[in-house]
Structures are given as C-alpha cells and as structure tokens.
C-alpha cells in the first residue's frame, strides 16, 4: 500500500512505501478476531449532518456481516490461493476487474471512470520515485531535512537517510496508486494470492477516494507542515485501511480469500528486519496513518475494535472535506469529532534568527513535529511496529505530550558548516509546558548529545541544538523563550 500524494514534502516520497508488514499485522488481528463486524453508532454529534449543503449528499455504508448469505461476494470466484506465481498484466487486469465492484459495494460509491493498472519492476519503480521526488521536493532539501533530524535526535548521526529510504522502498513496495496519473501500479515480483488482492482493494480505495475528493488538492492544504500532512494522510490511509479490513475479513469468513498463516508469518518476519533497521521516527510517521487513521474514521479508540468497524458514510465525507489539522486530533479523536472538545493547533510564525548567530548564517529548514513528534522525542520507550503487539496495542502519546498545542523547529547553517537548530513549542497551559520540559529533559539529556539548552517560560518551551562547530555561535546568541499566544 502507499499513502496518497503529498506535495513539496519529505512525506511525499513516503507515499511509495508499501506497508506490507502493516498489512500482515492487521490481517493477523483479523484472523485472531474471526468475529462479525459491528456497525455501531458513534457517540457525539456527526459534523456532516450539521451542514448538509456544504458536505454533499450522504452515502449509505453497508453493514457487513459475517454471513454466508451476504450477497456482496456471491458471484463466481476462483481463489488464486497462495500462488507462487508473480503478476502479469493479464492477471492484474482480471484482479482489478474483480475487486472494483467489491470496493464500490463496501464503500457505497461508484467509480466515475476506469482505473488504469500497470506493472513496474522494482528498479523501474525506484527510478520513477527518485525522479518524482527530485522534481517535487529535491534531494538538496532532503539532505537539509536529514541534518535537522540528526540534531533533533530523530536519526542516528551517521545514518544515511537517503540510502535507508531507498532500502525501505525496495523491501516494502508491493503496489501504489499515483494521483498524478490516476493509475495503479503493481510491482511485477509481488506474488498472486489473498495478500495481493487485499493490497489491491486498499489501493483501489485510494483511486475511488481520489475520484470523489481529489486527493492532490486535499493534500495541498498541508504544504510545509509535516504534522498537518500526517493528519491529512491519516484520512486517506485510514479510508483505505478500513475498506481493506472489511474486504479481508469478509473474504476470509466467506472462504474466498485464502491466507496461509505460515506465509503471513514468513512475510512479516522478512520485512520486519528492514523496519527494525530504519529510524523509528521514519517508520512511525509512515505507518501510523494507516492504523490511527482507521481508528479516527471509525471513531474507535482501540485498534482491535476499529479493525472490525464500519465507518459511517457521513463521517468519511466530512473527514475528506474537513481533514484534521494535527497529529493531536488524530491521536485524540474527541479533539476532532466533538465540537466542545475540538482543539485546533496554534500555528507558530517565528522570525528568522540567522543574524543572531553571525554573518553568513541562513535558515535552511523549518517544520512542525506535532504531538506525535514530541512523544517520539521524549518517550523512554516506543512501541515496536515490527510486531503485531506494537501495531495493535501501541500508545503514541502520554501525559507529558498530551498538552501539545503547536511547535516549529528552525534549522540554521553557518558559513563553515556550523549547525544550530531551535525548536519552539507552545502548550495548553503552563503546567503542561513544565510537564513536557521535565520529561523531555530527562530523556534528551541522556540520549541526544546535540541538545545544548532547554528553557521553559510560561506555556512555551524552547530547546536548542548544535553540532560541535555550532556551539560557540549558539552560546553567543543568548536565546530566550519567546512570548507566544495560543490559538483560542
């Protein structure tokens, strides 16, 4: 699977990473549950119902039951089983033609036009992804972001982020939907069988959503804000994951999808190795939109329940037209869905501090880490997404980070390779800021040698980092936590 197109962002490249490990993990849960799907009415008001004109007509999502009489899957079907044969164009076209009506029925919407499907070798895909990424984001910009991540402690100082990302691409990709060309592509080495059909259902859901909501336009609202991008991606990937889960569960219960437990375990073991070799921040921000997005759209707080739940059509429509604006709203779904608890992030617009560090300094990169990034940087331990337990039971916030309200890091480069990064965050209250300050200092002072100072002033926390060459410039700048105002 892949996430939808994200313009002008490092996350743009991550849309090509297929979460086959995540798919096997979710399917392991489905197999373990082996129970009927619940179609429950969520608590709280449904935003789409309050403004029918702006949110369009309401579709009716079917309540899928674990029932042999359910007519969605009654047409004749030859199960490819656990075929050892890879795809070719003829087989791919047949599978797409079979799965499209199932996607339409499960979602309660019709495709407006055909979805072209093609084949790529892994290397053809890598060449395409590299060209696309360089055109829209740029390898120089990628290098600047990698330097910021090093100072923040999000990746190891010696890690080659470009090579690591390429290795992930090669090991994880199975297929992807490209909103630019409105086409789906399958990697020709991916084997036929139940897993492939489920991935196809996920990607074809992206195609259906794109025809309904224009994913490129939707993603464009989050330009230059990685946390906002994460939240918008959670809608797109949550939608694909939700339908994929229902497709897989109904297929396995009805017996027309064959998922061999040994094959699933072997796939997960092989691909878990590449996940463990990658930086946790990269894997977490890539993977969580699938799981947390599904929970968001189904209004469920537990992954197990969300896996078997059907999102309401009006909730899907509202989320695509009014996506969440932060990882906070994804991780705390009540801060998105409940009007009285809705918490919009404070967007920080901070001045360029280059002159504070001396002549020849430039602001090289800036972005938002969000509540999720704050959690990753301050938590003593993180759930292991290479395991089913980590995927299903992982918690991605804590008391120290749940009071997040906004942040911005600014990464500076000096004339002789000196580097300084200033990360400013604002919190819901002075107490929340102090709580995060204490938790982050306790963790980062042990684990990140680049951290040079951390200050708290009211509801604002400021942390400053540098490489060895940048220490003198940072010390001379005499930084102070700014006075900031929260968004009401």
The string of pLDDT tens digits covering residues 371-394 is: 999 999 999 999 988 777 888 889
- The tens digit of pLDDT for each residue in 248-265 reads 988 888 777 876 666 666
Q: Which residue has the higher pLDDT, 330 or 28?
A: 330
Instruction: Say if 431 falls within a structural domain.
Output: yes
Q: At what angle do helices 261-277 and 194-213 cross, to 10 degrees?
A: 60
Examine the domain organization and report whether 299 and 240 are in the same domain: yes
pLDDT exceeds 90 at position 457: yes
Examine the domain organization and report whether 358 and 262 are in the same domain: no
Contact present, 172 and 20 (Cβ < 8 Å): yes
Measured CA to CA, the distance from residue 426 to residue 456 in angstroms comes to: 10
Instruction: Say if 342 falls within a structural domain.
Output: no
pLDDT exceeds 90 at position 225: yes
Which residue, 310, 327, 344, sits at the end of a domain? 327
Percent of residues, the chain, with pLDDT higher than 70: 79
> How high is the pLDDT of residue 397?
96
The listed range with the strongest mean pLDDT (2-16, 150-164, 192-206, 335-349) is 335-349
Examine the domain organization and report whether 408 and 284 are in the same domain: no
> How high is the pLDDT of residue 238?
97
Instruction: Say if 347 falls within a structural domain.
Output: no
pLDDT exceeds 80 at position 35: no
Measured CA to CA, the distance from residue 100 to residue 111 in angstroms comes to: 8
Least confident span in 47-51, 239-243, 336-340, 342-346: 47-51
Query: What are phi and psi for residue 97, nearest 5 degrees?
Result: -65, -35
Instruction: Say if 487 falls within a structural domain.
Output: no
Residue 311's domain comprises 10-70+80-327
Examine the domain organization and report whether 318 and 366 are in the same domain: no
Examine the domain organization and report whether 420 and 304 are in the same domain: no
Q: Which residue has the higher pLDDT, 218 or 5?
A: 218
> How high is the pLDDT of residue 5?
29
Confidence tier at 14 by pLDDT (50, 70, 90): very low
Closest CA to 368 of 318, 414, 328, 322: 328
Examine the domain organization and report whether 288 and 431 are in the same domain: no
pLDDT (average), residues 231-240: 97
pLDDT exceeds 80 at position 11: no
Measured CA to CA, the distance from residue 330 to residue 341 in angstroms comes to: 13
Q: Which residue has the tokens 């608590």?
A: 43
Examine the domain organization and report whether 131 and 259 are in the same domain: yes
In eight-state DSSP terms, residue 38 is B
pTM assigned to the model = 0.85
Instruction: Say if 266 falls within a structural domain.
Output: yes
Q: Which residue has the tokens 């699938």?
A: 290
Instruction: Say if 402 falls within a structural domain.
Output: yes
Query: What are phi and psi for residue 427, nearest 5 degrees?
Result: -125, 165
Examine the domain organization and report whether 128 and 253 are in the same domain: yes
Q: Which residue has the higher pLDDT, 449 or 20?
A: 449
Instruction: Say if 246 falls within a structural domain.
Output: yes
State how many domains the chain has. 2
- The tens digit of pLDDT for each residue in 298-350 reads 999 999 899 889 999 999 999 999 999 999 999 999 999 999 999 999 999 99
């Amino acid at each position: 699977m892949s996430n939808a197109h994200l313009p002008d962002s490092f996350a743009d490249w991550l849309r090509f990473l297929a979460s086959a490990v995540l798919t096997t993990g979710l399917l392991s849960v489905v197999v373990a549950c082996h129970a009927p799907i619940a179609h429950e009415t969520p608590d709280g008001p449904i935003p789409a119902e309050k403004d029918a004109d702006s949110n369009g007509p309401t579709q009716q999502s079917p309540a899928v039951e674990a029932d042999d009489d359910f007519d969605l899957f009654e047409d004749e079907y030859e199960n490819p089983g656990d075929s050892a044969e890879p795809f070719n164009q003829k087989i791919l076209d047949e599978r797409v033609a079979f799965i499209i009506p199932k996607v339409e029925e499960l979602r309660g919407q019709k495709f407006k036009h055909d979805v072209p499907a093609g084949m790529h070798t892994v290397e053809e895909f890598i060449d395409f992804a590299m060209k696309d990424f360089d055109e829209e984001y740029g390898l120089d910009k990628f290098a600047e972001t990698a330097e910021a991540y090093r100072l923040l402690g999000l990746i190891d100082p010696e890690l080659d982020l470009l090579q690591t990302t390429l290795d992930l691409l090669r090991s994880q990709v199975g297929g992807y939907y490209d909103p630019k060309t409105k086409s789906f592509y399958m990697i020709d080495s991916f084997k036929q069988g139940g897993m492939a059909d489920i991935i196809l259902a996920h990607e074809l859901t992206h195609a259906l959503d794109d025809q309904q909501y224009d994913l490129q336009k939707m993603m464009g609202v989050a330009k230059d804000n990685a946390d906002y991008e994460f939240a918008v991606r959670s809608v797109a990937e949550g939608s694909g994951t939700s339908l994929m889960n229902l497709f897989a569960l109904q297929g396995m219960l009805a017996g027309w999808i064959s998922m061999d437990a040994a094959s699933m375990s072997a796939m997960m073991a092989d691909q878990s190795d590449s996940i463990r070799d990658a930086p946790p921040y990269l894997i977490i921000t890539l993977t969580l939109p699938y799981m947390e997005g599904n929970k968001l759209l189904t209004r469920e707080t537990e992954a197990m329940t969300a896996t078997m739940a059907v999102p309401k059509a009006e909730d899907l429509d509202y989320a695509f037209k009014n996506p969440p604006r932060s990882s906070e709203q994804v991780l705390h779904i009540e801060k998105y869905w409940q009007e009285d608890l809705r918490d919009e992030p404070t967007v920080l617009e901070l001045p360029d501090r280059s002159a504070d560090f001396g002549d020849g300094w430039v602001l090289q990169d800036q972005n938002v880490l969000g509540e999720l990034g704050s959690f990753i940087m301050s938590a003593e331990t993180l759930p292991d997404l290479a395991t089913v337990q980590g995927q299903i039971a992982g918690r991605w916030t804590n008391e120290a980070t749940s009071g997040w309200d906004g942040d911005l890091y600014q990464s500076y480069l000096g004339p002789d390779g000196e580097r300084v990064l200033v990360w400013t965050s604002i919190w819901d209250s002075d107490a929340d800021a102090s709580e995060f300050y204490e938790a982050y200092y306790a963790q980062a002072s042990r684990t990140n040698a680049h951290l040079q100072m951390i200050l708290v002033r009211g509801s604002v926390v400021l942390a400053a980092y540098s490489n060895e060459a940048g220490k003198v410039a940072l010390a001379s700048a005499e930084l102070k936590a700014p006075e900031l105002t929260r968004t009401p």
